[in-house]
A = this chain, B = another copy of it.
Amino acid sequence: MAGRRSGAATVAAAGTASAAGGAQAGAAGTDAAPGVTDKTPRTARGRKTLRAILDAAAAEFGARGFHDTGITHITQRAGVALGTFYTYFNSKEEVFRALVRDMSAQVRDHVAPAIAAAPDGLAAERAGLASFLGFVRAHKEIYRIIDEAEFVDPDSYRAHYRNTADRIAARLGEAERRGDLRVPDAEVVAWAIMGMNVFLGLRFGVLGADRTPEDVAATANALLAHGLVGGQMG
């Protein structure tokens, strides 16, 4: 909520599913710190309403896209009156922004444990991709919402991918330091890996499910490990 406008209800304040989890609690808390301003609900009833609006917004934006979603779609699905929306958000863009960050945090937090548990750098990427594919299948809206951010709120969009790439680059750096991998140009490689993952998620998470996450991750990991020329592919 460090976004352009302040004073909006925060996702954290609504007790997001993700905020309830363990790993991301810190991150969500970070958001929540300045968020305790204007429209943060003070009563339990208010928190429940905010949550309902947020969930409805995620569902509607995911299903119809930002421009084809009206405030009434959201409030009707949430079961509240139209005007109630503006008790918690100052504009349509604001919910959207909140949602993008929320989703962004959710993926991160979903994938993080799998990566942390991996024995080495290569296994980390494999586990991360498999976990990501699983998440995508359960939350297909994420693609539409984050992609549309490019048009609705470019800042969120770029931040999402830059942060993700930075995280990957950091992992690769550590792996290299540990001697697991050789990474000549971490930024290029990080964006390449992110691109792979995103498109494999699009193809085998959103568009079709004709491979198990593990299969896809194994193939991609072999590519990442030895390439198409050397030896052990497949």
A residues whose Cβ falls under 8 Å from a Cβ of B = 65-68, 121-122, 144, 147-148, 150-151, 158, 161, 165, 172, 180-185, 187-189, 191-200, 202-204, 207, 211, 215-216, 219-220, 222-231, 233-234
Q: Which residues from B are CB-within-8-Å of A195? A: 195-200, 202
3 closest Cβ pairs, A-B complex: A195-B199, A184-B234, A195-B195
Q: Which residues from B are CB-within-8-Å of A182? A: 228-229, 233-234
Question: In the complex the two chains form, is B151's CB within 8 Å of A67's CB?
Answer: yes
Q: Which residues from B are CB-within-8-Å of A65? A: 151
**Complex Cα spacing A66 to B65, Å:** 13
Closest B residue to A231 by CB, please name it. Answer: B230
A138 to chain B, nearest CB (A): 20
A13 to chain B, nearest CB (A): 20
Q: Which residues from B are CB-within-8-Å of A198? A: 195, 199
Question: In the complex the two chains form, is B216's CB within 8 Å of A188's CB?
Answer: yes
A224 to chain B, nearest CB (A): 6
**Complex Cα spacing A180 to B188, Å:** 25
Checking B151, B180, B224 against A148 with a beta-carbon cut-off of 8 angstroms, the contacting residue is: B151
**Complex Cα spacing A229 to B231, Å:** 11
What are 17 sample pairs from A and B whose C-beta atoms fall under 8 A apart?
A: A67-B151, A122-B229, A147-B151, A165-B203, A180-B229, A182-B228, A182-B233, A188-B204, A191-B199, A192-B196, A192-B200, A195-B202, A223-B227, A224-B228, A225-B229, A226-B227, A230-B230
